[in-house]
Structure 1
Amino acid sequence: MFTGLVETVGTVTSLTALDPSTSGGNGTSLTISDCSSILSDAALGDSISVNGTCLTVTEFDGQSFKVGVAPETLRRTNLGDLTTGSPVNLERAVSATTRMGGHFVQGHVDTVATVTSVTPDGNALTFRLSPREKSVLRYIVEKGYITLDGASLTITRVDDGQGWFEVMLIAYTQERVVMAKKQAGDGVNVEIDIVGKLVEKSVVGYFEGTVGKEGAPAMLEKIVGRLVEEKMASLKGHQS
């Protein structure tokens, strides 16, 4: 478990294909350096979030550590796009004394989003992103949490119809995360807030137990439709 508060930015110094006969797959071994600040209490087997992906430390010294990345992880995250010299966000797993300044982050990437635009707003930057799997948009709500390359950020706008959402990076954050250097076309690891998934499963489970599995979708659609109608009526009332 992580908080989404990036501790430091490391540098990929080597990428080596793993031996299938010993690793069980065609994965990649990453060596990440320039991160001594998070290695003072490191141990083999520790979890470290690398661009929002929970990975296991297999080797380390005072300045660098090594992790193995499975083929499935390479396919589902932007780690497959890393090259020697790439900067990566790093965070150690939480401890009993960690301040929860961000939100609960698992380090399990749900999808990759593409940056479609970067717009300056004073000394801040607004990023618009389009997720590869549009289905995750139902969990993304304005003012809610989202994890992008391991950084806990607040969603500022969402457009479900056009399939995008926006976040803003203030000047302080720009100096401490890799996303500040991203441009249109770049990929970003996305982990949605697990609370949304849990709520959805609980609500669906409740209705399946009440009206049956086949009737649950219709019941949910009816309730959502009624809420939308009430909201639209309220908006019209304010405009009149």
Structure 2
Amino acid sequence: MFTGLVEILGTISHITPTTESEGYSFVISEAAAILGDCSIGDSIAVNGVCLTVTEFDAAKGHFTVGLANETLSRTDLGSLTVGSKVNLERAMAGHGRFGGHFVQGHVDTTAKLLSLTPDGDSVRLLMSLPLDFHTPLIPKGYIALDGTSLTLTHLSIPKPGEEHYEAGRGLFGVMLIAHTQSRTVVALKKVGDSINVECDVVGKGVESIVRNVLEGGGEAGGALEQLVERAVERVLAKKGLV
């Protein structure tokens, strides 16, 4: 479990294929500040992706993680190169303060950055993502972008002919304050770039429960049937038919 509060920026110093057909290993340097209590097998979020430490050298400030094909297919880590900066956060300690939101490090999809608009010393970002991942989002709810916990400031689904319309995609926006701009890789993104997205786990959970009831709850005497029956009874009673 993570909080979405990025601790430091690291730098990818080596990328090595692990086999001819599957995965890579990253060596990430400039990470001494988070390796003092590190152990083999620990989890570190790299641009919001929960990865396992397979080697590390606290004195030299670097550690190694492995990336499987599933990780490469679902995130934008495969587009990174040697020299790329990455957000780093250790898994949350049980005795620590919880300052962000619940972030699992399990990236749902990637979003496309559509625009950056200055707003005072802050910047507004507008992005699009598949509708399947747009529905769990709620106004002023949480979202993790490259592992950075941010508040949603905009949600919409454009219609054909409207700006940024793209079939099967919805829009969302966030704002980066000056502090966040200076400490995360999100502010380094350019229009057209991809960003790792993890939707708030609470929103995903509620959506899953409701979807299961509505789509799979049609059995006799089930929750959906009871819900419809109560609604029909109220309407009939209001009209004096029962």
Do both proteins adopt the same fold according to a TM-score greater than 0.5, normalized to the shorter chain?
Answer: yes
Whether 1:83 and 2:70 are equivalent positions in the alignment is no
* CA contact 1:47–1:55 (8 Å) conserved in 2: yes
> Take 2:36 and 2:223, find their aligned partners in 1: how far apart are those partners?
55
Corresponding residue to 2:133 among 113, 118, 136? 136
> Take 2:155 and 2:95, find their aligned partners in 1: how far apart are those partners?
34
> Structure 1 counterpart of 2:4, which letter?
G
Change in 2 beyond 3 A, CA 1:154/1:61: same
> Structure 2 counterpart of 1:134, which letter?
L
Q: What is the match of residue 201 of structure 2?
A: 194
* CA contact 1:208–1:215 (8 Å) conserved in 2: no
- Using the size of structure 2 for normalisation, the TM-score is 0.83
* CA contact 1:48–1:54 (8 Å) conserved in 2: yes
Whether 1:152 and 2:149 are equivalent positions in the alignment is yes
SS at match of 1:75: helix
The correspondence of residues 59-138 of structure 1 with structure 2, limited to 5 A, is 59-62=55-58, 63-131=61-129, 133-138=130-135
SS at match of 1:4: coil
**Deviation of the 1:201 alpha carbon:** 2.6
* CA contact 1:149–1:179 (8 Å) conserved in 2: yes
> Structure 1 counterpart of 2:77, which letter?
L
**Deviation of the 1:96 alpha carbon:** 1.0
**Deviation of the 1:212 alpha carbon:** 2.6
**Deviation of the 1:135 alpha carbon:** 1.1
Gaps of 5+ in 2: 159-164, 232-242
Corresponding residue to 1:170 among 170, 177, 185? 177
SS at match of 2:187: helix
Computing the radius of gyration from Cα coordinates, the structure with the larger value is 2
> Take 2:224 and 2:22, find their aligned partners in 1: how far apart are those partners?
42
> Structure 1 counterpart of 2:142, which letter?
Y
- Using the size of structure 1 for normalisation, the TM-score is 0.84
**Deviation of the 1:92 alpha carbon:** 0.4
> Take 1:2 and 1:179, find their aligned partners in 2: how far apart are those partners?
17
Deviations 1:120-155 (A, max 9, x none): 001000010111x22111011210000000000000
The correspondence of residues 31-46 of structure 1 with structure 2, limited to 5 A, is 31-46=27-42
Deviations 1:64-106 (A, max 9, x none): 0000000121111010010000000000001111211110000
> Take 1:101 and 1:110, find their aligned partners in 2: how far apart are those partners?
22
| Alignment size in residue pairs | 215
SS at match of 1:212: coil
Deviations 1:195-232 (A, max 9, x none): 01211233344557864399959x79xx9xxxxxxxxx
SS at match of 1:146: strand
Deviations 1:30-67 (A, max 9, x none): 00000101000000000000000000000000200000
Change in 2 beyond 3 A, CA 1:209/1:157: closer
CA RMSD of aligned residues (A): 2.2
SS at match of 1:135: helix
Deviations 1:165-192 (A, max 9, x none): 0000000111110011111011100000
